[in-house]
Amino acid sequence: MSERSYFPFCEIVKQNDIKEALLLNLINPKIGGVLIDGYGGSAKSVICESLRDITDKKIVKLPLNISEDRLTGSIDIEKTMKTGNTHLEKGVLSSADNEILFIDDVALLPDNITDILISVLSTGELRLERDGISDLSECRLLMIGTMNSEKNPLRKSMTDYFGLYAKVEKLNAPQDRLDIMRIRDEFDRSGGIADDELSEKTESLRKSIKEAQERLKKIEINEDILQAIVDKVIKSNAEGHRADLVMKEAVKAIAAFHERTEITEDDIDEAAYFVLPHRMRPGAAPEEEPPQPEEEEQDDDQEQEQEQDEQQQEDNDDESSGKDEQEQEQEPEDEPQDDEETDNEPDSSQGKFKSIPKAFETGEAFQVMDFSHEKDRKTRKGSGRRTQTKTTSTSGRYIFPTMNRRNNDLALDATIRAAAPFQKKREDNGMKIVIKNEDIREKVRQKKISNLLVFVVDASGSMGAVKRMTEAKGAVLSLLKDAYVKRDKVGMVTFSGEGAQVVLPPTRSTERGYRLLEDIKTGGKTPLNAGIEKGLRVIENQLRQNPDVMPLLIVITDGRGNISIDSSKKPAQELMDIGEMVSKEKRLETMVIDIENNSMTSFGIAGKLAAAMKAKYYRLDEIKGSNIEMIVRREKAQ
Is residue 226, in this structure, part of any structural domain at all? Answer: yes
Supply the CATH number for residue 573's domain. 3.40.50.410
The pLDDT, as a whole number, for residue 389 is: 79
Nearest-10 crossing angle of helices 242-257, 265-275:
130
- Enclosing H/E stretch for 135: strand 133-138
Is residue 206, in this structure, part of any structural domain at all? Answer: yes
Which residues lie below 8 Å from residue 359, measured CB to CB, with a gap of 6+? 518, 519, 520, 521, 522
| Cα dihedral: 103, 157, 387, 394 (round 10) | 60
- Strand 142-147 and strand 499-507: the pairing is unpaired
Contact predicate 350/408, CB 8 Å: no
Contact predicate 251/258, CB 8 Å: no
In this structure, are 597 and 472 located in the same domain? yes
Backbone angles phi, psi at 94, to 5 degrees: -65, -40
Is residue 122, in this structure, part of any structural domain at all? Answer: yes
Helix (H, G, I), strand (E, B) or coil at 616: strand
Q: Could you give the CA distance from residue 388 to residue 415 in angstroms, rounded to a whole number?
A: 26
- Enclosing H/E stretch for 166: strand 164-167
In this structure, are 34 and 160 located in the same domain? yes
Report how many helices (DSSP H) and strands (DSSP E) the chain contains, helices first.
21, 25
In this structure, are 200 and 265 located in the same domain? no
Which of 261, 279, 297 lies at the terminal end of a domain, its last residue?
279
In this structure, are 140 and 85 located in the same domain? yes
Helix (H, G, I), strand (E, B) or coil at 36: strand
Q: Could you give the CA distance from residue 580 to residue 603 in angstroms, rounded to a whole number?
A: 20
Which of 263, 279, 295 lies at the terminal end of a domain, its last residue?
279
Question: What is the number of residues in the chain?
Answer: 638
Is residue 574, in this structure, part of any structural domain at all? Answer: yes
In this structure, are 28 and 144 located in the same domain? yes
In this structure, are 147 and 11 located in the same domain? yes
pLDDT tens, position by position, 568-610: 999 999 999 999 999 998 888 999 998 887 766 677 899 999 9
Three-class DSSP labels, 369-428: CCCCCCCCCCEECCCCCCEEEEECCCCCEEEEEECCCCCCCECHHHHHHHHHHHCCCCCC
Contact predicate 87/80, CB 8 Å: yes
Backbone angles phi, psi at 537, to 5 degrees: -65, -40
In this structure, are 419 and 499 located in the same domain? no
Sign of the CA dihedral 11, 17, 18, 19?
positive
> How far, CA to CA in Å, does 120 sit from each of 14, 309, 393?
34, 55, 30
In this structure, are 185 and 275 located in the same domain? no
Backbone angles phi, psi at 547, to 5 degrees: -65, -15
Q: Where would I find the beta strands (DSSP E) of 459-594? A: 489-496, 499-507, 521-522, 551-557, 589-594
Is residue 203, in this structure, part of any structural domain at all? Answer: yes
66: left (phi over 0), alpha (psi -120 to 50) or beta: beta
Three-class DSSP labels, 71-128: HHEEECHHHHHHHCCCCEEECHHHHCCCCEEEECCHHHCCHHHHHHHHHHHHHCEEEE
Residues of the chain with pLDDT under 70: 1-5, 131-132, 192, 194, 281-377, 383-385, 464-468, 599-601, 624-638
The pLDDT, as a whole number, for residue 203 is: 92
Contact predicate 262/226, CB 8 Å: no
Q: What is the CA radius of gyration of the chain?
A: 30
In this structure, are 66 and 128 located in the same domain? yes
The pLDDT, as a whole number, for residue 629 is: 40
Is residue 266, in this structure, part of any structural domain at all? Answer: yes
Helix (H, G, I), strand (E, B) or coil at 352: strand
Q: What is the pTM of this model?
A: 0.58
Which of 279, 295, 311 lies at the terminal end of a domain, its last residue?
279
In this structure, are 583 and 438 located in the same domain? no
Provide the 8-state DSSP code for 624. B
Which residues lie below 8 Å from residue 100, measured CB to CB, with a gap of 6+? 51, 55, 57, 58, 59, 60, 142, 143, 144
Q: Could you give the CA distance from residue 196 to residue 75 in angstroms, rounded to a whole number?
A: 48
Is residue 46, in this structure, part of any structural domain at all? Answer: yes
The pLDDT, as a whole number, for residue 330 is: 39
In this structure, are 460 and 533 located in the same domain? yes
Is residue 597, in this structure, part of any structural domain at all? Answer: yes
Q: Could you give the CA distance from residue 118 to residue 518 in angstroms, rounded to a whole number?
A: 46
Q: Which domain holds residue 396?
A: 389-447
**Burial (CB count within 10 angstroms: exposed 0-12, middle 13-18, buried 19+), residue 170:** exposed
Give the closest residue to 170 by CA, choosing from 37, 281, 330, 278: 37
pLDDT tens, position by position, 98-124: 999 999 999 888 878 888 999 999 999
In this structure, are 194 and 227 located in the same domain? no
The total number of structural domains that make up the chain: 4
Q: Which residues of 610-633 are buried (b: 16+ CB within 10 A; e: fewer)?
A: bbbbebbbbbbebbbeebbeebbb
Provide the 8-state DSSP code for 170. P
Provide the 8-state DSSP code for 50. G
